[in-house]
Structure 1
Amino acid sequence: MSVRKGAPALLSAGTLCTALLLTGCANTAPSAPAGAPTSAPAAAGDSRPEGAPPRAAGAGGPASSVSSAPVPAPRLPGLGPVTHGLVPDGTTQALVVTGATADASTSTVTLYERGTGGRWTVAAGPWAAHNALRGWTDDHVAGDLRSPIGVFRLGDAGGRLPDPGARLPYDQDEEFAISGTGFLGESLEGSFDHVIAIDYNRVPGRTPLDKERPLGAGKGGGVWIHVDHGGPTHACVSLAREDLRTLLRALDPSREPVVVMGPAPVLAR
């Protein structure tokens, strides 16, 4: 029996694309202190009356102007301009999953939130995690045992166990049960007690169990954040049970959360 909590959040899947230009705002001139003159004195050699505005550049005198150099928008820690440019403008929650190298099967996970001033701060973590056995790839295919690199939406959750207080739509279903052993001989039982679907090659707004693959079956799918079983995954990211439950309670669909995942050298681009 499937129990689906909350209306589905229809979010578009994140894809790799060209870098977006960073925007900024201009500096503003400081206000004059009390008692200061309201007009600039005439420049040397300027025969105009005292109090006249300065000449424009090219009209025989230097122009008085305020710098309008753009101020770069604050970036998520560890992200370079290319990767950060893929984070949607409306996103104020970002889960950053960082591997040390392209072949690493362990990673570090940190949840960041962006405040009203535009600065990103740590909201939870950092947590230790596992990713795919062979590390990372920017061209994931089914069975390559690598996790996809990119920026992807997080909009749907579920699991075999009851909802621990998620704000994302949560699908409790016995189909999340799993058995068998992992790459290190560890038990996989309980790995899908709680999961968060990563919007890689899936239809957003559906249960993580949904099997439709918009890019085709050959590009893989079913990439989740799930309970860690003590070893590498096929393509997913896994967190300790309590860390995942904390994450489930923290992710807020109104903040358009995304996961930014990959090896540190790639994320820094």
Structure 2
Amino acid sequence: MVSPSPRVLLSGLGAVALTALAGCGTAVGSRAQDHAATAAATPPGAVRTVPAPAATPALRMPAGLGPAMLARIPRDSRQLVVVTGRGIDSPDATVVLYRRTAGGWQPDGAAWPAHNAKDGWTADHHGGDLRSPIGVFTLSDAGGLRADPGSRLPYHHSGGFHVGGRGFEGEPLAGSFDYVVAIDYNRKPGTSPLDWTRPLGASRGGGIWFHVDHGGPTHGCVSVSEAHMKQLLATLDPALHPVVVMGDAASLAA
């Protein structure tokens, strides 16, 4: 078999090259000459290697979240609190803050230890079930027994946040509501955390907050240390539309 000459190879390439280049506003003459030079330099029968386009880096996603939970995060949210429970029946969890950047979701600090409800988690929360609700919820309002420490969220300072008594493990509850952030489960956003309006009905529970940890399980809230509550209040920014994604690890990974 006789190998085609470089002139034959060029004639087959030139029509395609000229058509494509004319459509993108490139200097056709100089590019055609480049193709001719390349074709002439390529031995007959050789395969000319064309560099592959650079791969687009994958956007970073929050650790432990599966596609179902990721799909529930509002598009305009640029701030995220992920609460990951140790197990479906466990009261122990960790909390990580994230901020959305051009490269995806980036952690905003280290993980914090936390508590959730005594009997763990549920996707069908009802009042008194001693489980924290699984889901994605907005974070709109804050408050506490103590004066505003510098919250970006609207802050309701009130004596109504006083709490006494003891927790499930005998620990004192005093000071638990010194600082709180309302989790918008079965509540009306834009109101004080003390507002008991229940859009889903009273039977579906409510009053689910981030609050100061008292050293034991909660009735349904998520609790972290006082220092971390202050950090949460200083960080959550209404302009970034913050949300919380919360649940046991297996549910979040779904």
TM-score relative to the length of structure 1: 0.75
Q: Mark the structure with the bigger radius of gyration.
A: 2
Letter in 2 for 1:147: S
Letter in 2 for 1:202: R
Tell whether 2:201 aligns with 1:216. yes
Letter in 2 for 1:163: D
Tell whether 2:211 aligns with 1:226. yes
Structure 1 pair 232–42 and aligned structure 2 pair: CA distance change class (3 A)? farther
Distance 1:124 1:219 in 2: 34
Distance 2:174 2:152 in 1: 25
Structure 2, unpaired ranges of 5+? 1-6, 21-49
Structure 1, unpaired ranges of 5+? 1-40, 55-63
Instruction: List 4+ stretches of structure 1 deviating above 4 A.
Output: 41-45, 47-51, 69-73
Aligned with residue 91 of structure 1, among 62, 71, 77: 77
Letter in 2 for 1:125: A
- Secondary structure (helix, strand or coil) at the match of 1:84 reads helix
- Secondary structure (helix, strand or coil) at the match of 1:235 reads coil
Spell out, residue by residue over 1:63-108, the C-alpha distance to the aligned partner (whole angstroms, 9 max, x if none). x9x98x9986542221111101101111111000001211110100
Give the % identical residues. 50
- Secondary structure (helix, strand or coil) at the match of 1:53 reads helix
Tell whether 2:226 aligns with 1:241. yes
Q: Comparing both chains, which one has the higher relative contact order based on Cα–Cα distances under 8 Å and sequence gaps of 6 or more?
A: 1
Instruction: Determine the structure 2 residue equivalent to 1:33.
Output: none
How far did 1:48 drift? Answer: 6.7
Structure 1 pair 99–81 and aligned structure 2 pair: CA distance change class (3 A)? same
Provide the aligned C-alpha RMSD in A.
2.4
Instruction: Determine the structure 1 residue equivalent to 2:61.
Output: 75
Letter in 2 for 1:94: L
How far did 1:154 drift? Answer: 0.5
Aligned 8 A contact 1:149 1:261 in 2:
yes
Distance 1:42 1:241 in 2: 78
Instruction: Determine the structure 2 residue equivalent to 1:180.
Output: 165
Aligned with residue 142 of structure 1, among 116, 119, 127: 127
Tell whether 2:105 aligns with 1:127. no
Aligned 8 A contact 1:91 1:257 in 2:
yes
Distance 2:173 2:13 in 1: 87
Letter in 2 for 1:122: P
Tell whether 2:171 aligns with 1:205. no
Aligned 8 A contact 2:60 2:106 in 1:
no
Spell out, residue by residue over 1:199-242, the C-alpha distance to the aligned partner (whole angstroms, 9 max, x if none). 00000000000010000000000000000000000000001111
Instruction: Determine the structure 2 residue equivalent to 1:110.
Output: 96
TM-score relative to the length of structure 2: 0.79
How far did 1:267 drift? Answer: 0.7
Letter in 2 for 1:164: P
Distance 1:49 1:224 in 2: 68
How far did 1:52 drift? Answer: 3.6
Instruction: Determine the structure 2 residue equivalent to 1:160.
Output: 145
How many residues get paired? 217
Spell out, residue by residue over 1:92-150, the C-alpha distance to the aligned partner (whole angstroms, 9 max, x if none). 110000012111101000101111x1421111331100000000000000100000000
Aligned 8 A contact 1:157 1:194 in 2:
yes
Distance 2:58 2:135 in 1: 22
Distance 2:164 2:16 in 1: 88
